[in-house]
Chains A and B, each alone.
Chain A
Amino acid sequence: MLKDITLGQYFPIDSPLHRMDPRTKILSLILLIVAIFLANNPWAYVLAAAFTLLVVALSKVPVSMYFRGLKPIWFVIIFTALLNIFFTPGTKIYLFGYRTPMTWEGLILAGKMALRLVLLIISSSALTYTTSPILLTDGIEKLLKPLAKLGLPTFELAMMMSIAIRFIPTLIEETDKIMKAQKARGADFESGSVLHRVKALAPMLVPLFISAFRRADELAVAMESRCYQGGEHRTRLNEIRFHLIDAFAGLLMLAFFAAVIILRIIL
């Protein structure tokens, strides 16, 4: 289960998507998500799905990795789909029991919602698989920069984010180790009543929190001992820059977005 959490995982290979500027990728993802939500007719859905598949192909990341990213949310997808199928009013097509008619409208809505969720996860995964956490936060910081004039602590926000992202795998690994250590003492995290399972979490959460605090403390000391004091005048080893590929990607993205809008208007 823990190994299935792929969000925030970087997949270090070389592909056109890997070479793009993180800012282009972040803005494109935002546009893509908006487009997915704007889509309101079958053609727009087909287009969005095709575009997402194109992104997946360009990323050169194995399709199995994307499926792995979907694993933890299958339950949510199926659950919402079932709710939609049975609780949307409309033309009844089949009757289970006597109060939960399955409707044609529900079926279509369920399909749309499921497709939306899957496309959202796949496209966000495409960003994190192809962008290293450092580049990602660099990109976010650069994009937020205009807001610094309004007093938003953009640098601190970006630093907090990169630290948080950096520690996701560490904490997952730590959780795994703690679970193993407690399992070796007969702990059972997977069976029993809900109350029992919640109680069974204490032996896992206590060591995890303690170690997280200890790590935070050590990191703070390590940063301060290297004279860290925030954003002013701090420079980078590798500045991020736009390249030709970003122009192509941007144009493609805008064309796709425009197509979705046009489809929305004319159909």
Chain B
Amino acid sequence: MAIEISNLNYVYMAGSPFEKHALQNVNLTISDGEFVGIIGHTGSGKSTLIQHLNGLLKPTSGTICVDGVDITAKGADLKKLRQKVGLVFQYPEHQLFEETVYKDIAYGPKNMGLTQDEIDERVREAMNYVGLTDKYMNRSPFELSGGQKRRVAIAGVLAMRPDVLILDEPAAGLDPSGREEILTQIKALYLARKMTVLFVSHSMEDVARAAGRIIVMNRGTVAMDGKPSEIFSHAKELRSMGLDVPQITQLAASLAERGIPIDNNIYTIERAKATILMLLAQKEKGAK
């Protein structure tokens, strides 16, 4: 399920004083099985971009090919596309509506016209993937915690068995433990289902942990695109876009400034911990 975006432009409310050029000449290729983090300041166009990928927004100009099929062409099968490219929005409150968690997750497969048995199988599978046990099945989605609501929302999309999963700010607004849980779950899901994952966030920390590739959006254009280590070596440019490198990378940079021979591509706490311990061990050895 490769996604090819070429010369994508999108203008909001054309011809009014509120006109806004949300996307300008975006060219991207996302290959099968990638875990891509899309990062950018508020209003950088990242949400607009992902809404094009399952046909919710029609580009003002440009084309998008999913799996070799031009989805911007007239008469494109959007229902099928939305099943293949699953999009989970930021707020689960925007999609939960059924009386029970089970029924809510079943909404997507039901719209696909599957049989009762297939729906049941998919709902259970999806709940399993996001770590919701059977006891949640008959609970109302409205009485769950914020993190649990998000899991239900993600399961609701996973139940359609998409090949590409797009998550818009899946961890925003959660407390640290809820955030931790959901991010771990997404990474586990990626490894288990081997799906292409696009992860939108404004938090460098969250993106740095999971993504193998980072796309930085700024004012409707792709400002940077590369491996996390490449992106984070441009701290100054990132700051000029209202973004920042992860705190732990900053720490490593200030350690390096003080003459400590630390790696310059540290962007997770685990790695920082291992490197610092190694440096300390070396120092001890040298002292002996």
Contact = CB atoms under 8 A, between A and B. Distances in A.
Interface string A49-88: 0000000000000101100000000000000000000000
B57 to A, nearest CB: 9
Interface in B74-96: 79, 82-83, 86-89, 91, 93-96
Interface string B54-82: 10100000000000000000000001001
A235 to B, nearest CB: 32
Contact of B108 (A13, A178, A186): A186
Contact of B97 (A65, A174, A207): A207
Contacts of B51: 180
A186 B15 contact: no
Given A185-B107, A186-B112, A207-B97, 19 more contacts: A177-B89, A177-B94, A180-B56, A181-B89, A184-B56, A184-B87, A184-B157, A185-B108, A185-B160, A186-B82, A187-B111, A188-B79, A203-B95, A203-B97, A207-B93, A207-B94, A207-B96, A211-B94, A214-B93
A251 B107 CA distance: 61
Contacts of B79: 186, 188
Interface in A141-186: 174, 177-178, 180-186
B186 to A, nearest CB: 17
A183 B82 contact: yes
B95 A186 contact: no
B13 A181 contact: no
Contacts of B111: 185-188
Interface string B105-126: 0011001100000000000000
Interface of A: 3, 11-13, 62, 64-65, 174, 177-178, 180-188, 202-203, 206-207, 210-211, 214
A183 B56 contact: yes
B156 interface: yes
Contact of A210 (B82, B83, B87, B93): B93
A186 B160 contact: yes
